[in-house]
Each structure stands twice: as structure tokens, then as C-alpha cells.
Amino acid sequence: MSATVGLVVVSHSRALARAAVELAQEMLHGDEICIAIAAGLDDTTFGTDAAQIVDAVTAADHGAGVVVLMDLGSAVLSAELALELLDDDTRERVVLCPAPLVEGLIVAAVAAAGGAGIKEVAAEATAALGGKIGQLGAAPTTTDPDGSRDAELTGSFVVTNPHGLHARPAARLVQEVRGHDARALIRNRTSASGWVHAHSLSRIATLGVRAGDEVEVRISGSQAAETLKGILALAARHFEEPLTAAALASPKAPSHPIGASPGLGIGPARSARLAPIAIHDVPAEDRDLEWQRLGNAIAVVRRTIGQLRTRTARELGEAEASIFDAHQLLLDDSALLDNVRARIDNGLSAVAAWSAGVRDLAAEFAAVPDPYLGARADDVAAVGDQVLRAMLPGSATAETASGVLVAADLTPAQAAELDPARVAAVLLSFGSPHAHNVILLRAKGIPVVVGAGTAVLSIPEGTTVAVDGTRGEFLVDPPDDVRQDFRARVAALARRQHTARASAAEPAVTRDGVTIPVGANVGSVDDARAAARCGADFAGLVRTEFLFLGRPGAPDVDEQLGVYRKIAESLEGKRITVRTLDVGGDKPLEFLPTTAEANPFLGVRGIRLSLAHPELLAEQLVAVARLAHETPVSVMFPMISTLDELFAARRLLDDAISRAGRDRPRGLRVGMMVEVPAAALKATAFARHVDFFSVGTNDLTQYALAADRTNDSVAAIGDAFDPALLHLVHTTCRGAAGHASVSVCGEFAGDERAAGLLIGLGVDALSVTPLAIAGTKQAVRAADSREAVRLAGEMLAAASAAAVRKRLDESK
């Protein structure tokens, strides 16, 4: 092997790279050459990593040189960066080959196995399309009249996004451009700006493109036409962004603190703001070593952001996860990297050069007249700090601090990184109990109070703060006796939680002998495994969106069946409730462009989108029908508001059962979500046609109270304890009586105070996050169903959510 040229495959997809290598090895008929893979950020996350490419080159280099083949876009940029990171001796033996990945790899592998040198291997790979071109003819090209070069195409579009080309739409534009073999320039025609490269996120952002501005593009290269078409289509889809973004304003705190995640926590106040990083005047080492040091740090941060994006997409949704695309692109930004490289070449250390380059870029963002775009300077600074901390081990971060975290608000990224073993509680000036960051914290079991007001930001670091996330109360620097009493309450709660966890696998039976199954809401196979460990009696909600979001095409029946089967296996044969695809409106699918809606929460989403594209729903239902022959399965339709919708969905289910090729599965149950007030009010009519209802209190609350759960300004209004919401649950249970069972799968079900109340309203089962199972079961065991009915009657007559909470506290 030492006498042969090594090959490296760089691809955004690890699965694609492995398949291409397997195909190439089939052509070698037993000959051995070294083919290393640098693909994907992990087995499921698309992306490329320069540090991974360096490792692959090192593994493939046995003295005869290495030919690197890449798929497209940032794979080329990552390979170029990796080349810079190699030592001079190795770099001289590496060729970045422009060949098509699959054809080029096969030809290169055969040539290398035959003993060809590195130049010949690269040349053979580059000419790999010759056979196909000879058979089909050369692809048509667009040239200048004199035929000397590719012609330049031009086009323009008007930006309709409320905040112009800010981070997310600009990131989508850059991704579109990088996915083609083309050179693209862009300018703001409205402001008569200069031209900048459309490959650079930072250059686009500094154009200050606002809503209503006209943008002009100039494109050349072999795929100029495809690139222009893609950009114009993307602009017509508003860069995959809803047009309902709120106008820029300072966040508004609710009128009073709100308990957003139950529990008690006490400890020293810790600011979520990271301490400034000290950039010491340390002499630079060799410039190649400094550049390599920076490249390694960028690779570490890229992997971290990629993993966080995947987790956020799975737990929160693709729309929220897309902000990390902009962060990733900043790490590859040519303008920033050229600036930093020039500083390193002039003798600065990697730390000093990166710090100065980020500072310059952030200043350019801050200078943009539009306040929303100018605020993106914070994004630049945040990504810059991540890289600096990767180069400076030991830099303190907010995540390592122990105590009560105090902040204006947290991003989902920050919330996702918090360790419940170190963070006793979170106290936020603003925020909403229904915001995604709070949902994450609740899933982690961290007590949270939101809407605490701006005064908490002035709490001195280290001051003792006690937080009651159940009641929405907090105390700053309490007297010793109060502090001791609170610590005793924390200890008592910890003991109760320990007891609850010890009996989590046991059934939840009320004091008077009524069994209430407690299931889990899951959004992945890993979630299902966690649910089994936490004692789930069933899966009350399997969110199938994670299979469809962030990919260029829908999963087929076999892929869906494989994942659903793994979820069922993880729960060891217990019933799983598969909710059909619940996207659309505010959660668009990449492969299914939809018309922008003025109010996506009231638009084409859930079952409405599925019925508009019945082939998509039909495939999913076939997978469910096939699974139902193997294990107990319930299928649940989301966002049902009319009988016609339910009937149409059931007809598709009947067709799917026929396509599955067997009789109707005996264990298959059919149900619907109750998320729309109309569904609750018409429960009697629906109940004759379903086996069960599942009340989604998150959406039902926002629709019933006209309070957007993502809007901090109305956070206090959208309270699931409001008597109006309780009436809708009670109406659903009365309508279902004798025909269908009723469970609750919204966040409300995981509030331990609500367990007895929901039982009293007539709910048969609860489904919560895996970590809330133990506590919910314990709350059920503490209830008496007859007393719960009496208490529920009182709560239905209450005047407000606050009155309901107060009465529940008194009833303990």
C-alpha cells in the first residue's frame, strides 16, 4: 500500500461518502488502496470539517501522495482550509481534484490501484466524465459572443422579509450560491451599494438590505443559469422565512413573574453574560502553526454548532435551528478568514488576529443603519468568542458556573447547554413560559421564573437567590432563617423526587384505586430510550417531524417504518402513538415549498397541509399500518377542526391498510389531537369516529386565549390554568364519554399541580416529557379521583388562572 496514491473523499454526507467508497472498491477486484473518508459532522449531521479532512489526509498518506475529491460548496472551502493546516512537507504531496465525486473516485481508485502516480490519478479522475459526455453529448454551455468565457447572467428581486436580509435569509442565500459551480456578486440597488461576493455572509449583511429593497445579482460560471434560477426562486419563497416576524422592539416583560418550570432552587447568582476574554500580547509562533491553531479551533466550534443545530431541530423545530446555519457560515466566511490570515502573515498570533478580525466585522455589522441588521453584530461576537475560547482552554463560560443563572433571556442554544447538576435555577427578566428555551429547561428539570423584571439584572454576582419555579416567586439575599427554611424545602423536594424516581416504573394509581397511565412525548429514538428508562407506560406522542425537516426529500415508507420500529422496540412493545406529520405554516418543509401566509398559526399546517399533499400522508400511513401488525400502535391526526378533515384522513388510512397487504391490524387505534377550540366544542360529534382524543394544551391555550405562545408580551395571558382552558378540557371529556378515551399531551400535563385537576375533569391518561414521568406518577398517587372531581368543579367556576393556582396550593 505504501507505493500507491491515497484517496480522500470529502462530502457533506457520511452515508453518501461510504456508499461511494463501497462502489469504488467493487471496481478494484481485490486490489487494496487507502481511501479515507472525511464526511458529515457525525453519522446524521450534514457538513464538512477541515480538521477531519486533515486527519483523513494523514491517514491516507503513505508517501506517494494523496488526491482529495470533494462534492460541492463548502466541501471545497473546507478542503482548501485543511490544505493550509497541513505541514509544508505533507501539503506538497496533496492534490485537490475538481473531478465529479462518484465518477472521479471510481476512476481514481482504479488508476491508483494500477500504480499510477499522483498527477496521473488526478488527471484520470478529472477526465472521468469523458465516457458519459461521449455517450450523451456535451452539456450545453452559455458563452460570450466570442466564446472566450462563460457569459454573465443578471437578475434582481425585491426583498419582502420583514427584517430584510438578516442572518437567516442571508444564510439561505449563501447556501444556495455555494451549492453550485458559479461566481455570484450581489448589491443593494436601492441604496446604490457596491458589489460584494454572495459566498460571504458578512459581505451580504453589510449591504444593509431592508424590506422593500431591490437586490441585483450577477452570476457567471458553468452553473450560472441554475444558480440564478435558484436564487430567484428562493427570494420568491421569502428565503424560507415566515412573513410574520414581529417588528423590532425591546422585549417586554410580563406584568408579573411567572413560574415557567416547576421546582425549587437556591444558590449564588451567576450572570449569563460571559466574562470578557483577556487577549494577552503573546508573541506569535510560526505563522503556519498559528493558522493551524486557528483552523483546529474553528473545526471544534463547527462540530459543536452542528451538533447543537441537530439537537435543536429535533427538539424544537427546523425554523429555530436554522439560526445556526448563519453561525456555521460565519466560520467559513472568506472575508473574515482573509482578514485574519493577513494579520497572521504580518506577525500576529492566531488569538490576536482572530480577535481583531471579528472586532472589525462586528463593527461593520453595527454600522449598518437598519437596527435589526445592526444587532447581528452580537451574532458575530458570539461566534468569535466561541472560537477564542476553543483556542484558550480554561476560559470560563456561563455553562460552567454553579448557582442561579440570571439573564434577560436565553437562546435555545444557551438553554440546551445548561447542566442541571450545576444550575440550581434560572431567573429571567423577560421570556415566556411557552418559549422554546423554557421548554428545554423544563425538560431538563431546571426551575425557571420568567418575567422577573429588569431589576434582577443588577443582582450582584454571588448574592444568594432563592427561586420557586412552581409559584413564580423569587427572593434576593433572604434573611438567614428564610434561607434555612428554603434550603429545607429544597431538600424535602429532592427526597420526594428520589422516591418518585425509585417507583417510576410502577403504575400510577390514585388513593382510591384508579389507574392513570403516564406516557412520554418523544421526538426521536433516543427520546424513546430515555422514556423507557424513566418508566413510561406508553408513548403518548411520537413527533414524526424530525424525520421530515431539514432534508431535500421526504423519507420513504421503509425509512419511516425502520425508525418507528426502533421507537417501538425501545419501549419494549408498549403502545406508541404516532402523530402524523405536523408541519406547515411556521414550520416549512425544505422539499415542499408553500405560499407565505400572513398568519401561519391559522394557516395551512398539520392535517391541512397533509390533506393538501395526500401522497405525503399516504406514505406515512402505510408505514404505520405495517408497524401495527408487529406492535400496538395508535395513529393520531393533528390540527383537526372539522369532521370532513377527519373523514378524509380516515379514508387515506383505510387505503394505506389495503396497500400494506393485510387485514386491518387488531391493535391499531385511531385518534385526533384536540388543539383547536372547535374540536373541543364538537367533541360529541368527533367521538363517534375515533378511539381517543389527545389534548394538546400548548396550542389549545393560545387559540382559546388569543395569546401567541412565542410572544413575551402576552405570556401572562396564555396560561393553561385559565378556567376557559379547563372548560374546553372538561367539554372534551364529556363529549368523549362512552365512546373515546381522553389524554393530555401538552406541557400542562407535566405540571404536577395539574395532575389531580385533570383527573377531576375526566382525563384518562397523561403524556409528558421523559424526565417528568416520575413526578407526574407521584402526583397521580397523591390524588383521590372523587376529591379531584369536586375540586375540578370549583376550578371551573374560578375567575382567573391566579385563582386556580391559589386554590390548588391551598388544597395540598
Kindly state the average pLDDT of the residues 567-580: 96
In terms of domains, do 160 and 129 share one?
A: no
Kindly state the average pLDDT of the residues 750-773: 94
In terms of domains, do 259 and 335 share one?
A: yes
pLDDT at 149 over 50: no
In terms of domains, do 187 and 299 share one?
A: no
Q: Please report, for the domain that includes residue 10, its CATH number.
A: 3.40.50.510
Q: Please, what is the average pLDDT of the chain?
A: 84
pLDDT value for 167: 62
pLDDT at 444 over 60: yes
pLDDT value for 378: 61
Model confidence at 809, pLDDT cuts 50, 70, 90, reads confident
Task: Enter the DSSP assignment of 139.
Answer: P
Residue-wise DSSP of 353-406: HHHHHHHHHHHHHHTSSSHHHHTTHHHHHHHHHHHHHHHSTT---GGG--EEEE
In terms of domains, do 128 and 185 share one?
A: no
In terms of domains, do 318 and 410 share one?
A: yes
- Indicate whether 529 belongs to any domain: yes
Q: Which of 610, 641, 672 is the last residue of a domain?
A: 672
In terms of domains, do 236 and 257 share one?
A: no
Lowest-confidence pick of 202-216, 487-501, 685-699, 735-749? 202-216
In terms of domains, do 472 and 548 share one?
A: no
In terms of domains, do 374 and 337 share one?
A: yes
Lowest-confidence pick of 57-66, 728-737, 780-789? 57-66
- Name the catalytic one among 97, 534, 733, 745: 745
- Indicate whether 295 belongs to any domain: yes
- Cell 423584571 sits at which residue? 453
Q: Is 733 a catalytic residue?
A: no
| Cβ count within 10 A of residue 10 | 28
- Indicate whether 78 belongs to any domain: yes
Burial 502-520 (b: 16+ CB within 10 A, else e): eebeeebebeeebebbbbb
In terms of domains, do 333 and 470 share one?
A: yes
Q: Which of 470, 489, 508 is the last residue of a domain?
A: 489
pLDDT at 461 over 50: yes
pLDDT value for 242: 61
Domain that holds residue 379: 253-273+287-489
- Name the catalytic one among 436, 534, 730, 733: 436
- Indicate whether 564 belongs to any domain: yes
pLDDT at 312 over 90: no
In terms of domains, do 267 and 202 share one?
A: no
Q: Is 534 a catalytic residue?
A: no
Element (H, E) at 668: strand 668-674
Residue-wise DSSP of 558-600: HHHHHHHHHHHHHTTT--EEEEPP--BTTB-BTTB-----SSG
Lowest-confidence pick of 395-409, 549-563, 620-634, 747-761? 395-409
Kindly state the average pLDDT of the residues 190-215: 81
- The count of domains in the chain is 5
Q: Which of 88, 105, 136 is the last residue of a domain?
A: 136
pLDDT value for 519: 97
pLDDT value for 785: 96
Highest mean pLDDT among 77-91, 598-612, 768-782, 798-812 belongs to: 768-782
In terms of domains, do 705 and 583 share one?
A: no
Highest mean pLDDT among 29-43, 390-404, 600-614 belongs to: 600-614
Q: Indicate the residue type of 447.
A: P
pLDDT at 619 over 90: yes
Name 449's bridge partners: 259, 427
Q: Which position has the higher pLDDT, 61 or 416?
A: 61
pLDDT at 86 over 80: yes
Model confidence at 74, pLDDT cuts 50, 70, 90, reads low
pLDDT value for 416: 75
pLDDT value for 98: 86
For 354: left if phi > 0, alpha if psi spans -120 to 50, otherwise beta; the answer is alpha
- Indicate whether 436 belongs to any domain: yes
pLDDT value for 103: 85
Model confidence at 712, pLDDT cuts 50, 70, 90, reads low
Query: Mapping DSSP to helix (H, G, I), strand (E, B) and coil, where does residue 227 land?
Result: helix
In terms of domains, do 178 and 299 share one?
A: no
Q: Please report, for the domain that includes residue 229, its CATH number.
A: 3.30.1340.10
> What φ, ψ does residue 167 adopt, rounded to 5°?
-55, -50
- Indicate whether 24 belongs to any domain: yes
Model confidence at 37, pLDDT cuts 50, 70, 90, reads very high
Q: Please report, for the domain that includes residue 419, its CATH number.
A: 3.50.30.10
Q: Please report, for the domain that includes residue 568, its CATH number.
A: 3.20.20.60
Model confidence at 273, pLDDT cuts 50, 70, 90, reads low
**What pTM does this model have?**
0.57
- Indicate whether 329 belongs to any domain: yes
- Indicate whether 782 belongs to any domain: yes
Cell of 222: 458553468
